Amino acid sequence: MFDSAEGTEEGYDPGSTSDVFDIAATALAWAEDEQVAEFGNDELTLSYEQLRKVGDLFYAQAQRRLAVVDERQTYKADGYTSTTAYLKHRFRTTGGQAKRQVADVRALREMPYTRKLAELGRLSSDQVRTLISAKQAAPEQFADDERELCDIAEKLEWVADLRNATAYWQQAAAAEPTFPTLEDQRNASYLFVSRTFENMVKLDGLFDSERGAQLIEAIRAATPAPVEGEPSTPSQRRATALFDLLVSDGERPATPTLLVHVDAETFAGPFADQYSRLRETNNEVLAKYTVDRLACDANFRRIVFGQKSELIDVGRSVRLVTKPMRGALVARDRHCAFPGCDRAPQWCDAHHIIPWWEGGATSTSNMILLCRNHHSLIHIGKFTLRGTGHEPRFYRANGQPIGRIELLDTG
């Protein structure tokens, strides 16, 4: 039998993944065949308790594998932006539940004794979460006291008692901090905005806890996920989120106006070259796929020059996607249409499946809502989109369709 948290259970051989799955499927089939209504009371109660215990053990093993999935980011193969997004879609769970599972497996990486007891079924999931909360409150002290707290958890019959015990432990681990009042915080608040010598803009601010919490939550919700092929730091993505919050009307992202500078001879194919020039407030030369993505859902104006750079024509500003049409897209798609993504419409672009500069219609059948992350992934070729806006089909770069999880068939 198991002797210590660092050891292994006698005679236990995990085997391969397929072996574990086959055994579990067989056991589930047996359980389904049992005539539960014919069980006596004692047999029924024991059967339930045993199945519940086995279920908890399998959940602990699933969480052990989820920790590796999270480390390796295997979900990116199907276009998921995070472990949370993967869990929400594949297992039809809520965002809060998915976040809690991810937070649990990440915390347990630094809680070896707790993790092992959970895998052996000696701690319930609620007991584990209580210990995780204790660790988050005083991480350094928890590292010293983990075994003692786990021993206490095993002896207590009620989770409420464990919560009380960890609350007392937290009080002993660290003194109660004192905070300034909200009025004091407001009086100490400030925000400076200045322009640097490099013609950039610098922000420096301090906010009270109430408004600061609102700001943090707004920026967190608006921060785009990292895009493969376009390295960016979290701080850079937060800067993007802050700008989007400032210029968004609450219903859609800020709409750029594309001023495409071309000479008269190449005007027939303004996006045929490797690079095009986009002008908003300053001239910037952008990669073709970036201009293509912006052009999907933008105000477009052409500026045509002759051979001697003389201005030949300035076209009128044309809104490619009208507000009623976008409303129809929102009503149909409800969120980003990429499989497994539920980013809200206000953070989505209207993507042309067949680009309008290649003759694609600006219509609901040729358009689909995509968040900035998945819109970029489409345009840089990481994924492809076929079909229509009403029946879109997404594929990996190697041509494989992005599928759904195969459910267990025990019939």
Residues 111 and 238 in one domain: no
Q: Into how many domains does the chain fold?
A: 4
> 255, 298 in Cβ contact below 8 A?
yes
Write phi, then psi, for 208 (nearest 5 degrees).
Answer: -70, 165
Residues 166 and 189 in one domain: no
pLDDT at 12: 37
pLDDT at 110: 93
Average pLDDT of every residue of the chain? 77
Residues 262 and 156 in one domain: no
Specify if 1 maps to a domain.
no
Q: Name the H helices within 34-180.
A: 41-72, 83-90, 95-108, 112-119, 125-137, 139-155, 159-173
Residue 153, pLDDT > 90, answer yes
Q: Name the H helices within 298-387.
A: 323-333, 372-379
Which residues constitute the domain of residue 309? 257-319
Residues 33 and 123 in one domain: yes
Residue 313, pLDDT > 90, answer no
pLDDT digits 0-9 by tens, 158-192: 898 899 899 888 877 765 444 566 677 788 888 88
Residues 331 and 304 in one domain: no
Specify if 411 maps to a domain.
no
Residues 304 and 376 in one domain: no
CA distance linking residue 295 with residue 362, whole number of Å = 12
- For residues 223, 227, 231, 233, the Cα torsion angle rounded to the nearest 10 degrees is 20
- Which of 115-119, 188-192, 215-219 is most confident? 115-119
Identify the domain boundary among 144, 173, 202: 173
Residues 103 and 151 in one domain: yes
Specify if 6 maps to a domain.
no
Specify if 7 maps to a domain.
no
Specify if 11 maps to a domain.
no
Identify the domain boundary among 156, 173, 190: 173
Residues 73 and 164 in one domain: yes
Residue 309, pLDDT > 80, answer no
Query: Which candidate, 207, 217, 202, 297, places its Cα nearest to that of 252?
Result: 297
Residues 233 and 328 in one domain: no
Identify the domain boundary among 226, 247, 268: 247
Residues 21 and 169 in one domain: yes
Specify if 2 maps to a domain.
no
Specify if 22 maps to a domain.
yes
Q: Give the side-chain half-sphere CA count within 13 A for 275.
A: 5
Residues 96 and 158 in one domain: yes
pLDDT digits 0-9 by tens, 319-375: 567 788 888 888 889 889 998 888 888 888 889 898 877 788 888 888 999 988 888
pLDDT digits 0-9 by tens, 233-269: 888 888 878 877 776 655 555 555 555 555 545 444 4
Q: The pTM is what?
A: 0.55
Residues 128 and 30 in one domain: yes
Percentage of residues in the chain having pLDDT higher than 90: 25
